[in-house]
Copies of this chain bind each other. A is one copy, B any other.
Amino acid sequence: MNTAHQLHKPLTSTPVGRRERRRAETREKLFRVAMQLFAERGFFATTTEDITEAADVGQGTFFNYFPTKQHVLTVLTEKQMERVAHAREEAESGKMPIQDVLRELMHRIAQEPGKSQALTRSLMTALLSNDEVRQFARDTMGRGRETLSEMIKLGQKRGEIRRDRKPAELAMAFQRNVIGTLVLWAMQTEGDLDAWIEKTFRDFWGMVSSQ
């Protein structure tokens, strides 16, 4: 019923020179391998050596890309911000109803941390127990809410979203719903995250739509 969010091209921008391209590839590889290990062993039990070994690069290489293990997670927050920016472009293009743009965004935002229940738990644990991770996640989510608010304002202008509520509050409701869904889903032993998100979106949209 809703598969549009799975059909997108990768969001990473393409660097021009060969050297820049290789750098971007290695950074992406370190990120992917790290996420895999965080899911398998947990964020805290994974060392930077585990990551470089699994990525098949020299031990010191890690620090050419990230000052600390926590900083790997900035790649995730960047990717999430790119998804939000992409959604705003779609909203501004006017080709899709805001409802579809926001639904797709909610699925896509949940997808990366929700690759597995173990990964969600590992990332949420890092977020909650490490001051540095929490601080940049908080900043990124704050910027995410600003962009969401702009999309919601657009939806209000077009008569798709109710006008008696502040865009910032509805943007907060969006994030609250995604996080609540991820945590509840990650507590279970099984379950299709996309199906969980679809239900959550229905509730969220019922709350914000102008009907």
A residues adjacent to B (C-beta < 8 A): 42, 121-122, 124-125, 127-129, 134, 137-138, 141, 169, 172-173, 175-181, 183-184, 186-188, 199-200, 203, 206-207
| Leading 10 A-B pairs by shortest Cβ distance | A180-B180, A176-B180, A121-B128, A179-B180, A207-B207, A125-B129, A138-B187, A125-B128, A179-B183, A173-B203
How many copies the complex holds: the figure is: 2
Interfacial chain B residues near A178, Cβ < 8 Å: 180
Q: Is the interface of A mostly helix, strand, loop or mixed?
A: helix
* CB pairs A–B below 8 angstroms (23 shown): A124-B183, A125-B125, A125-B128, A127-B187, A128-B186, A134-B187, A137-B187, A138-B187, A138-B188, A141-B184, A169-B199, A172-B184, A173-B200, A175-B184, A176-B180, A177-B177, A178-B180, A179-B180, A180-B181, A183-B183, A203-B207, A206-B207, A207-B207
B121 touches A129 (CB 8 A): yes
Known: A169-B199, A173-B200, A173-B203. 18 other contacts (CB 8 A): A42-B129, A121-B129, A121-B134, A124-B124, A124-B128, A128-B186, A134-B187, A141-B184, A169-B203, A172-B199, A175-B184, A177-B177, A178-B180, A179-B179, A183-B183, A203-B207, A206-B207, A207-B207
CA distance A207 to B211 in the complex (A): 12
Task: Determine the residue in chain B with the shortest Cβ distance to A173.
Answer: B203
Q: Looking at A169, A180, A188, which has the most chain B CB atoms within 10 Å of its CB? A: A180
CA distance A179 to B177 in the complex (A): 9
CA distance A177 to B134 in the complex (A): 20
